[in-house]
A = this chain, B = another copy of it.
Amino acid sequence: MSSTLPEPEPLKALIEALRRLPGVGARTARRMAYHMLQHDVAGAQHLAAALGDAVRDLRHCERCNGFSDEAICPVCANPKRDPSLLCVVETPADQNMIESSHGYKGLYYVLMGRLAPLEGVGPAELQFDRLIRRACDGEVREVILATNFTAEGETTAHYLAESLRSHGLAVSRLARGVPAGSELEYVDAGTIAWALMERRSS
């Protein structure tokens, strides 16, 4: 939007700050700022406080690396969870999805990213050594790699599988196949190929 209208400084600063949110461009940031200032000043104050609180109070769980407001998060501290299973995910959102499947009772490790050499994200940036130390605590028997099935997620899984196996750990990967409830006609060919290759006797 090429505008010649002088915008008041605090408004300009707010729009710039909102643009740093992922997926928010100039137009959306402007719309957000107008909305907040015109219709939801309480919401703006609320958001400012919540941002400040979160930055101040949140840290990474010492065991799983997920966001936590305590040194050890409730999941890692839960004695009912199976400490012999460690599921490695890219983000807390992925962890949420696995948890909501109610199919897993082990513990987690959150990478907070994936290998992306072009963006300068390598094993050091993701602190793979921390994950290795965590996985080698003597209790973990199997590491389940649940990174995304994208090129970068697969690379991350491959790299981690090598290092974890070299430490004598059993490593597995989420099954690839036809999504539950889907019709074969509408599933992409790559998925069908994988589902054929990894078919199981029934």
Contacts and interface: CB of A to CB of B under 8 A. Distances in A.
Contacts of A9: 57, 69
A17 B46 contact: yes
Contacts of A11: 54, 58, 67, 69
B93 A31 contact: yes
Size category of the A interface is: 35 or more
Tell me the interface secondary structure of chain A in the complex: helix
A5 B50 contact: no
Contacts of A198: none
A10 B50 contact: yes
Interface string A19-61: 0111100011011111111101101111111111111111000
Contacts of A100: 1-5
A117 B43 CA distance: 24
Nearest to A22: B35
27 contacts: A4-B99, A5-B95, A5-B99, A8-B67, A8-B73, A10-B53, A10-B69, A11-B69, A14-B50, A14-B51, A14-B54, A17-B49, A20-B36, A20-B40, A21-B36, A21-B43, A23-B28, A23-B31, A34-B91, A36-B54, A44-B51, A44-B55, A45-B52, A45-B55, A47-B47, A47-B48, A48-B49
